[in-house]
């Protein structure tokens, strides 16, 4: 190849490089624009409110029942104050109880969205707040009252006034009945109504009332098929025992699990706590536990 051929080859390569750079400069902004339109920016996640301390008493907190994700248990979302320009979300997992059953029925009657006022006890377990509801009220709008269309006659018109009636005013007596009723309705926003509708199934009537205590009952800790911790009562001297109960989150359950990891879960323990019932199933909120040591002719 001569000198002229080598020069032409270099010029062609140089021109191809320049053309490729120009094409890249023109196409890149277009690709970036297309990508920005095809993949919108995700919605910002609202901030999570700090956890409430263990053992806190939630009193007349206003909020609603929600399921943050499909398959999640019911959460009570408190109407929290805003943090900057965003709303701080405070969700507490509702523990099974008869009050929760009443809340579910009220939620269903309200069409899936209802504002409630709940009182209960808060606990912390696995980095989450759990709430055992003790009392709940549904906030409903007041009933609309019908305003009479006919104004009743003034009874004083049938009475002949005395000649000197200086105390009687010739002007209007005041607002009309419609105005008074409208002012009363506007002054009331939402009215609390108990969620207890009096519905009780056979299982509820036969079960122990919520809040009933068990003291130093002997049994064993087992793990259910779905991961729940279950307390199996040992049979008494007559060979009978209570049905197993699911253990609900509490500091005592956390200590019970830690103790079981150091020893054998199948070893008997003494358990104290409070009972709750949900859809015919028995639950226990542990409050205290102690290991059971067995020796020859001695058990304590």
Residue 264 belongs to domain with CATH number: 2.40.50.140
Q: How far apart are CA 32 and CA 299, in angstroms?
A: 76
Q: What is the pTM of this model?
A: 0.65
Q: Do 266 and 233 reside in the same domain of the chain?
A: yes
21 part of a folded domain: no
Q: How far apart are CA 219 and CA 271, in angstroms?
A: 7
| 223 vs 272: which has the higher pLDDT | 272
**Given this model, what pLDDT does residue 116 score?**
92
pLDDT tens for 232-284 read 999 865 666 788 999 999 999 999 988 888 877 778 899 999 999 999 899 99
DSSP code for 280: T
84 burial via Cβ count (<10 Å: 0-12, 13-18, 19+)? exposed
Q: Do 60 and 195 reside in the same domain of the chain?
A: yes
pLDDT tens for 49-105 read 889 999 999 999 999 999 988 889 999 999 876 555 567 789 999 999 999 999 999
Q: How far is CA 44 from CA 41, 47, 84, 87, 158, in A?
A: 9, 9, 14, 11, 72
Q: Do 185 and 224 reside in the same domain of the chain?
A: no
CATH number at residue 102: 2.40.50
- Max mean pLDDT among 101-110, 138-147, 258-267, 285-294 falls in 101-110
Q: Do 77 and 111 reside in the same domain of the chain?
A: yes
**Given this model, what pLDDT does residue 33 score?**
44
Q: Do 187 and 104 reside in the same domain of the chain?
A: yes
59 part of a folded domain: yes
Range of the domain at 223: 202-299
Q: For the chain, what is the domain count?
A: 2
Q: How far apart are CA 161 and CA 264, in angstroms?
A: 97
């Amino acid at each position: 190849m001569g000198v002229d051929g080598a020069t032409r080859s270099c010029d062609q390569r140089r021109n191809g490089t320049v053309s490729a750079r120009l094409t890249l400069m023109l196409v890149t902004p277009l690709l970036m624009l297309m990508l920005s339109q095809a993949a919108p920016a995700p919605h910002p996640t609202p901030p999570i409110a700090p956890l409430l301390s263990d053992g806190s008493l939630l009193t007349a907190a206003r909020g609603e029942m929600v399921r943050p994700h499909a398959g999640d248990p019911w959460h009570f979302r408190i109407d929290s104050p805003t943090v900057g320009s965003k709303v701080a979300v405070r969700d507490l997992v509702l523990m099974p109880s008869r009050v929760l059953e009443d809340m579910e029925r009220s939620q269903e009657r309200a069409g899936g969205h209802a504002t409630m006022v709940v009182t209960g006890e808060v606990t912390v377990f696995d980095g989450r707040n759990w709430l055992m509801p003790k009392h709940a009220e549904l906030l409903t709008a007041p009933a609309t009252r019908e305003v009479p269309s006919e104004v009743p006659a003034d009874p004083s018109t049938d009475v002949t006034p005395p000649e000197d009636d200086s105390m009687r005013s010739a002007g209007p007596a005041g607002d009309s009945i419609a105005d008074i009723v409208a002012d009363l309705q506007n002054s009331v926003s939402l009215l609390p109504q108990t969620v207890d509708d009096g519905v009780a199934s056979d299982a509820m009537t036969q079960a122990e009332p919520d809040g009933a205590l068990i003291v130093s009952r002997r049994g064993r800790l087992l793990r259910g098929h779905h991961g729940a911790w279950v307390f199996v009562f040992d049979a008494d001297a007559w060979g009978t025992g209570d049905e197993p109960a699911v253990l609900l989150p509490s500091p005592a359950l956390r200590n019970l699990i830690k103790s079981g990891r150091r020893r054998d879960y199948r070893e008997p323990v003494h358990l104290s706590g409070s009972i709750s019932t949900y859809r015919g199933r028995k639950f226990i909120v542990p409050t205290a536990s102690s290991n059971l040591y067995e020796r020859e002719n001695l058990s304590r």
